[in-house]
A and B are shown apart, each in its own frame.
Chain A
Amino acid sequence: MIQLVNIYKTFGKVKALQGVNLHVRPGSIHGIIGENGAGKSTLMKILTGFIARTSGSILLDEQDVDLKTPESARKLGIGMLYQEPLDFPKLSVLDNFMAAAADTNPQRQAEIINHLSNKFGFTLDLSARQGKLTVGERQQVELMRLIRDQCRILILDEPTTGISGEQQKLLFSTLGRLRDEGKAIILVSHKLAEIHSLCDRVTILRHGKPAGEQEKPFDEEKLLQAMFATLPTKSSRPPGRTTGKPILTMEEVSTTVGRVGLDRINTTIYEGEIIGLAGLDGSGQSIFLQMAYGLLSPEQGRINLPVADNEDVMRVFLPADRLRKGLIAGLTVREHQLLAGAAPFFIHTGSGRLRTEQAIATFSIVGTPDTTTEDLSGGNQQRLLLSLIPPGARLILLEHPTRGLDLQSGQWTWQYLRSHLPDNGAIIFASPELEDIMEQADRVLVFYNGAIILDRPTDKTGYREVSRAITGRV
């Protein structure tokens, strides 16, 4: 029914998609799997006209189609359930259902939504505010809207993230019925369980390239291999460090912030440890790090820093979105150094220059003391952030520490972190790269739906177990 041929997409210098092909037949559920940054979301956004492809063609019923705007995708009967619901939380369920519909008679629309709800077994209060609904219910509203609009091709992006088991069952049975009615369904997921129980066919993406395709029944081992590429059996990990006293403890820590929140986290981090947080993006790692830093407070449970004498100096956090969450765009390298260090009250053009020049040399930052951070490349931004870590920092929290860095810079980053971590300090880092975690961490915590489902020293586990845990299999 729909065919994507040789799709390329570049954002500036970044090649997001390179020659992806996809053929989805009516009356089937087609899975798209891949790890973070494999290009799944980009591909789907192209299919819905949200972004334009750089090259390649899209054929619908063997006809070349020009998908440039969501408007055109809608007319062609392509609809998508976004991972973050793109709805209107303050408006009622019925209003959400009616928004931009061809027919907006409230009675008729209420009838349609009630009819569809009955058919699929949803129970929704039409006058409730959309924002008061659970993520699963918001999804149901959106799904019914797409069905009403006669979508022939339905795309679902990680639809089970953050929804209850009950809602998941309902969603699966609904998708089964829609398939039987002849719709083409594309399911973007990283959860092998749902791929197994739902999909007829699956395409694996890796680093923006097609990495294999399978028909049902799937060979799980091969799927994992294609997703995570070669699974080295041995890691070249430096020897573990001697551990000391607890430096951070979490007891029953829960929150509802973010899509999945955190679900009763219990863990203790010891001095000398390097902890890797694995899991698909948005499974709770980022919230965990923000909690550990103190940017968020738990709704339930307790966080302790047993050895803290000065909490301010002790912890440091390097977020993934370096330019917006870690650095201050508009300020220069030198100004960052001044903010991070003990700046004198009066600052002149020479203040902090020595420190800055040293940092530029030590960290090989390509830039001058007066370069503003938005003009630095991603790698240089990371090196600047590293250079801002105060010498006394004992709990270093990093989100995607090597994202956007070439191999050498990545290795250098780790070398630096390891050699500068005091014996009584610890590092906790989240990374989408499994290699990173297996090579650098002493212990791995795997997050899945806001909970830690695997907590192992890295020398007692392997790629297989961790990658299975990421996909929800323990």
Chain B
Amino acid sequence: MKSNSIYFRAGSATLQSIPILVLAAASVSLFLFALDFSPFAIIRAMAAGSLTSWLKFSQLLSIWVPLLLCSCGLLFTFKAGLWNIGIEGQVVMGAIAATTILRLNPTSLPPVFTIIVAMLAACVGGSLWGLLVGILKNRGGVNEIFGGLGLNFVAQGIILYLIFGPWKRAGIASMSGTDIFARDLWLPMPVGWRVAPAALVTAVCAFALTWLLLSHTRFGLRVKAVGLNPEVSRLFHINPDRYGLFAIMVGGALAGLAGGLQVTGVYHRLIPAISSGYGYLGLLVVMLANYKSLPVPLITLFFAWLAAGSIQLPIMLQIDSSLSGVIQGACVLSALLVHGLRKQRKG
């Protein structure tokens, strides 16, 4: 039957998302009209701020990279039926792990090698932090939402301690972060770029890998089975606890990688707000994608455009940049509403 071809499914998914977009756009526009703002002026300003030159667009891509990585990580945990709120902490721990390696900076080794090791460390850091959430859930019966939330706060405590304690800048400790790394430990960035090509490639590969693992491997299928019905997955000789752990560790690794790339590719140092809330934003992305992989790159790009474009709003239109968050939230809520109405109509 043709109706199951990938094109057909992509087409029908697109059709299904139209009411969501219309609802979100209509409600946000109405909201803006009510506040006497012109949505069109805002879109124009946001486009001007992010799409008019490669420099601006590469700025957008620099947001897209960590957001895509976090969303990929969350795809794993959502597929396994877990609410991985701990992702913020996993990003932070990834960043800390990477910084540890980068600060060691063994001069005997080529910098490229150091960076690669640092990124691997970031994966391990995020992964272990995720593992903790999983262990708390499996062994201690602590709901992953609260375990993750707690570990986010702990990670925040650790990063502050490091920045204000052992890793403080020569002389002064401040919220601006640690000392900047040696230049050869930065991810190389061509002139006129705001995003390191290596980071871009990593993110695209990570997505490809996520999609491959989730949709085209036995592992992905088992994770999906566990997420849909843990009890029945036992009948298929799958241990749901173990696959939950696998999922959260892979998810944590991707989140950690996002943190690592922020450190070496964007800030070139460790700062307290290293995660920039991309983990939480990723939750919204995957919810809007209805927990499916394929729409994620597009949605992350859209969210990244909102985030990048809104930076211009205060300057150009005296509108607060948090408008991007409002739009993102409105999209997700519209999606939930539309899905709910569909469910209601089906009975």
B-binding residues in A (CB < 8 A): 295, 312, 317, 324-331, 335, 338-340, 343-348, 368, 370
Closest chain A CB from B280 CB (angstroms): 26
Cβ–Cβ contact B219 & A326, under 8 A: no
B219→A345 contact, CB < 8 A: yes
B233 within 8 Å of A (CB atoms) = yes
Instruction: Tell whether, in the assembled complex, residue B238 and residue A339 are in contact, meaning their CB atoms are under 8 Å apart.
Output: yes
Q: Is the CB of A330 within 8 A of B228?
A: yes
Known A-B contacts A331-B225, A335-B221; A326 and B4 likewise in contact (beta carbons under 8 Å):
no
Complex: how many Å from CA A346 to CA B228? Answer: 21
| B228: chain A residues within 8 A (beta carbon) | 328-331
Contact A343 B218 (CB under 8 A): yes
Beta-carbon contacts under 8 Å, B229-254 to A = 229, 231-238
CB distance from B320 to the nearest CB of A (A): 41
Question: Is the Cβ of B232 less than 8 Å from the Cβ of A327?
Answer: yes
What 0/1 pattern do residues 200 to 243 of B give for CB contact below 8 A with A?
A: 00000000000000001111111011001101111111100000
Chain B: minimal CB distance from A13 (Å)? 14
Categorize the interface residue count of chain B: 20 to 34
- Contact residue among A329, A335, A368 (Cβ-Cβ distance under 8 Å from B4): A368
Inter-subunit contact A326/B232 (CB<8 Å)? yes
Could you tell me if B218 and A345 are in contact, using CB atoms closer than 8 angstroms?
yes
A346 and B232 contacting across the interface, CB-CB below 8 Å: no
Do A328 and B219 have beta carbons less than 8 Å apart? no
B172 on the interface (CB 8 Å rule)? no
A295 near B234 (CB under 8 angstroms)?
yes
Task: List the B side residues contacting A326 at CB < 8 Å.
Answer: 232, 235
In angstroms, Cα B218 to Cα A347, docked, is 6
Which residues of chain B are near A370, meaning CB under 8 Å? 1, 4
Q: How far is the CB of A291 from chain B (nearest CB, A)?
A: 15
Minimum CB–CB distance from B208 to chain A (whole Å) comes to 14
Give the chain A neighbours of B219 by CB distance below 8 A: 345
- The CA-CA distance from A338 to B219 in the complex, in Å, is 11
Q: Cα distance A335–B232 when bound, in Å?
A: 14
Which of B1, B4, B218, B234 has the most chain A CB atoms closer than 10 A to its own CB? B218
16 new A-B contacts, CB < 8 A, other than A339-B222, A340-B236, A370-B1, are: A317-B235, A324-B229, A324-B232, A326-B235, A327-B232, A328-B225, A329-B229, A330-B229, A338-B221, A339-B221, A339-B225, A339-B236, A343-B221, A344-B218, A345-B219, A347-B218
Docked complex Cα distance between A317 and B235 (Å): 7
Name the CB-closest residue of A to B4: A370
> Can you name 23 A-B pairs with beta carbons within 8 Å?
A295-B234, A312-B237, A324-B229, A326-B232, A328-B229, A328-B232, A329-B228, A330-B224, A330-B228, A330-B229, A331-B221, A331-B228, A335-B224, A339-B222, A339-B236, A339-B238, A343-B221, A344-B218, A346-B218, A347-B218, A347-B220, A368-B1, A368-B4
**Chain B minimum-CB-distance residue to A318:** B235
* Residues in chain B within 8 A of chain A (CB atoms): 1, 4, 216-222, 224-225, 228-229, 231-238
Which residues of chain B are within 8 angstroms of A312 by Cβ–Cβ distance?
237
CA distance A328 to B234 in the complex (A): 11
**Closest beta carbon of chain A to B204's beta carbon, Å:** 20
Closest residue on chain B to residue A294 by CB atoms: B234
Instruction: Give bound CA distance, A335 to B4, whole Å.
Output: 14
Going nearest first, the 7 A-B pairs with the smallest beta carbon separation are A370-B4, A330-B228, A343-B218, A339-B236, A328-B229, A328-B228, A347-B216
Q: Which of B221, B222, B235 has the most CB of A within 10 A?
A: B235
What separation, in Å, do the CA atoms of A317 and B232 have in the docked complex? 10
> CB-nearest residue of chain A relative to B212?
A346
Shortest Cβ gap from B199 to chain A (Å) = 27
Complex Cα gap A312–B216 (Å): 25
Chain A minimum-CB-distance residue to B226: A328
State in angstroms the CA–CA spacing of A339 and B217 once bound together: 11
Assembly CA distance A467 to B236 (angstroms) = 36
Q: State whether B224 touches A331 (Cβ < 8 A).
A: yes
Residues in A whose Cβ lies below 8 Å from that of B234 = 295
> Judging by beta carbons under 8 Å apart, are B233 and A328 in contact?
yes
- For the complex, give the distance between the alpha carbons of A25 and B228 in Å: 50
A346's partner among B1, B217, B222, B237 (CB-CB below 8 A) is: B217
| Chain B residues whose CB sits within 8 angstroms of the CB of A325 once the complex forms | 231-232
The complex places the Cα of A345 from the Cα of B222 at a distance, in Å, of 11
Residues on B with C-beta less than 8 A from A339 are 221-222, 225, 236, 238
Report B179 CB to chain A, min CB distance, Å: 44
Question: Considering the chains assembled together, what is the distance between the CA atoms of A324 and B231 in angstroms?
Answer: 9
A295 to B222, CA, bound (A): 19
**Smallest beta-carbon distance A321→chain B, Å:** 10
- Residue of B at shortest CB range from A327? B232
A274 to B161 Cα, complex, angstroms = 68
Task: Please tell me if the beta carbons of A345 and B221 are within 8 angstroms of each other in the complex.
Answer: no
A346–B234 Cα distance when bound, in Å, is: 22
Q: How far is the CA of A344 from the CA of B234 in the complex (A)?
A: 19
- State how many angstroms separate the Cβ of B296 from the closest Cβ of chain A: 19
Report how far A466 CA is from B218 CA in the complex, Å.
Answer: 47
Q: How far is the CB of A394 from chain B (nearest CB, A)?
A: 15
Complex Cα distance, B1 from A344, in Å, reads 25
User: Whose C-beta in chain B lies nearest to the C-beta of A368?
Assistant: B1
A338 vs B215: C-alpha distance when bound (angstroms): 13
Q: Is the CB of B221 within 8 A of A347?
A: yes
Residues in B with CB closer than 8 Å to A348 are: 216
Residues of A within 8 A of B217 (CB): 345-347
A328: chain B residues at CB < 8 Å are 225, 228-229, 232-233
Q: Chain A contacts of B220 at CB under 8 A?
A: 347
CB distance from B67 to the nearest CB of A (A): 27
Q: When the two chains form their complex, are residues A338 and B218 in contact, meaning their CB atoms are under 8 A apart?
A: yes
CA separation between A348 and B228, bound complex, in Å? 21
CB of B78 to closest CB in A, whole Å: 13
Complex Cα distance, B1 from A116, in Å, reads 67
CB distance from B252 to the nearest CB of A (A): 22
CB neighbours of B235 from chain A (8 A): 317, 326
* CB neighbours of A327 from chain B (8 A): 232
* Residue of chain A at shortest CB distance from B6: A349
